[in-house]
Amino acid sequence: MSFLTSTTRQASRLLSRHHLPLPQPQTRCASSKTPFQWDDPLSSQSLLTEEEISIQETARSYCQDRLLPRVLDAYRNENYDRDILREMGSLGLLGPTIQGYSCPGVSSVASGLITREVERVDSGYRSGMSVQSSLVMGPIDQFGSKAQKDRWLEKLAQGELVGCFGLTEPNHGSDPGSMETTAKPHPTKKGYYLLSGAKTWITNSPIADLLLVWAKVDGQIKGFIIERAACPTGTLETPALKNKNGLRASITGMIQLDNCPVPAENMLDVTGLKGPFSCLNSARFGIAFGVVGALEDCIERARTYSLERKQFNNPLAKFQLVQKKLADAATDASYGMLAAIQVGRLKDSEAGLAPEMISMIKRQNCDRALHHSRTLQEIFGGNAVSDEYHIGRHVANLFVTQTYEGQSDIHALILGRAITGLQAFF
Ligand code: TGC
Ligand code: FAD
């Protein structure tokens, strides 16, 4: 049921190079007959290729048919179903921009549309997928040797192996450059390093088969792929962090390393913070699309509720204050989607993009999604407290999306540095 069989994969690669023509500028004035679409006010759909629309439809069907029915139980019980990654793998949703290794090699916008559909259901499901695609498969594809790619990429693409990305430490979150985790040459075993240190708040770590851990070798940051199955007892622990009040449908934990032996051949070919930050560019880009999906779900649910619920003999939707909340949210969702598509096109273009563009859309879309989901929550009155209305879950999740992969204020400082040439971090 993969959306890209080997035959269509070739066709889709062609399609992705030949985008459908953009809508032509209208010579006539906007007509009152042109219908306004409340769920796509600025017609972002008109900017997509046929292939992208088809991928979006496949992702939406899967998410609505298979993920939505599971999400309440997963969220209530903090129970992430590991099979989800296998299902996503069978549909070609993992590592979608990678060429080869059973990955479809589609456009960055297509990958963003996938995260939008997954996060329309739940940010935690998007998190589990993003880590696998952008933060584990991405770095192996970008900085891995041929042997590393041959060994792991296909299994990760199929969801047969689960990966995690360990950058944050208990004492160093926004400032990963100060990390304390070290890798030292093994004193007796040639060609091996010993890794020691702790990583925290790591998505997928308790179930990960492959753990990409960033550690300092003589003060220089390097990435190591740790294979859980090869770790001697007592050298690697990944306890789960339970009782979260957001992102409960994903699984989060620590990585504790105590002289864990890792072969030098498992090291990635990149040095310094540009290693983890290059992977984060793709993951942050995915979040910028994803949170729009979560906000769109909030808008749709609030609109439906306000049309059905009556107070003072009128549907809530008839009241001006309610309409303003919907209008504000729909405006920011559609601006956010257009900006994300533009950055996606630049990402795939010859000219490329500046990482600050990703900071801008990650920050703005997360901030706006959190703000509006919280405002739309008010439309549900007391019912908002029931998880069956879903909106409270999105609000709690969207706090996390605003925090991880660079908290909103950190991205403001990245932008401030680019605008002024002066850094304000320390
Ligand atoms: P700075 O001097 O800015 O940069 C150091 C080196 O890195 C390079 N670099 C980048 N390269 C590519 N893309 C980017 N976006 C890059 N940003 C920086 C830079 O060119 C430089 O290279 P070189 O060769 O000159 O050494 O470093 P800094 O220490 O001053 O950085 C400060 C700051 C705040 C920008 C940075 O530390 C930061 O972004 N902090 C936020 C931390 C963060 O995002 N953590 C994410 C953890 S992973 C996660 O949250 C996953 S959640 C997944 C999920 O569940 O979905
Ligand atoms: P801190 O760095 O302590 O920041 C606290 C506050 O201080 C923030 O508001 C921040 O903006 C502000 N602040 C910090 N420095 C400055 C400054 N110079 N100027 C102004 N304000 C400042 N990490 C991973 O490596 N891999 C993962 O898979 C992963 N998954 C996660 C999943 C979840 C559910 C969560 C909650 C986190 C996850 N993280 C992961 C960690 C996440 O990236 C960090 O929480 C985030 O980077 C912020 O770091 P911190 O929590 O240490 O906050």
User: 12 in ligand 1 pocket by Cβ < 6 Å?
Assistant: no
> Can you tell me the mean pLDDT for 123-144?
98
User: 271 in ligand 1 pocket by Cβ < 6 Å?
Assistant: no
Tell me the C-alpha distance between 112 and 118, whole Å: 10
String of DSSP letters for 153-170: HHHHHTTSS-EEEE--BT
What confidence score (pLDDT) does residue 125 get? Answer: 98
What confidence score (pLDDT) does residue 28 get? Answer: 52
Percent over 90 (pLDDT), the chain = 92
Measured from the Cα of 425, ligand 2's closest atom is 18
SS3 160: coil
Ligand 2: residue of 123, 162, 214, 407 to mutate (most ligand atoms within 8 A of CB) is: 407
- In this predicted model, what pLDDT tens digit does every residue of 2-19 receive, in sequence order? 544 443 443 343 233 333
User: 416 in ligand 2 pocket by Cβ < 6 Å?
Assistant: no
What confidence score (pLDDT) does residue 30 get? Answer: 63
CATH architecture of 164-271: Beta Barrel (2.40)
What confidence score (pLDDT) does residue 11 get? Answer: 33
What residue ranges do the domains of the chain occupy? 45-162, 164-271, 274-420
Band of residue 34 on the pLDDT scale cut at 50, 70, 90: confident
- In this predicted model, what pLDDT tens digit does every residue of 345-378 receive, in sequence order? 999 999 899 999 999 999 999 999 999 999 999 9
How would you class 402 by CB atoms within 10 Å of its CB: exposed for 0-12, middle for 13-18, buried for 19 or more?
Answer: buried
Q: The domain 45-162: what is its CATH number?
A: 1.10.540.10
Residue 315: how many other CB atoms lie within 10 Å: 15
- In this predicted model, what pLDDT tens digit does every residue of 53-74 receive, in sequence order? 999 999 999 999 999 999 999 9
- In this predicted model, what pLDDT tens digit does every residue of 260-308 receive, in sequence order? 999 999 999 999 999 999 999 999 999 999 999 999 999 999 999 999 9
User: 406 in ligand 1 pocket by Cβ < 6 Å?
Assistant: yes
The catalytic residues are 405
Tell me the C-alpha distance between 258 and 236, whole Å: 7
Band of residue 29 on the pLDDT scale cut at 50, 70, 90: low
Tell me which residue has its CA closest to atom 25 in ligand 1.
Answer: 274
Q: Which residue has the higher pLDDT, 391 or 1?
A: 391
SS3 347: helix
* 164-271 and 274-420 agree in CATH topology: no
Fold assignment, 274-420: Butyryl-CoA Dehydrogenase, subunit A; domain 3 (1.20.140)
> Can you tell me the mean pLDDT for 240-258?
98
Band of residue 31 on the pLDDT scale cut at 50, 70, 90: low
pLDDT(88) > 70: yes
Give, in degrees to the nearest 5, the angle at Cα 74 between 40 and 82: 95
Question: Considering the entire predicted model, what is its pTM?
Answer: 0.94
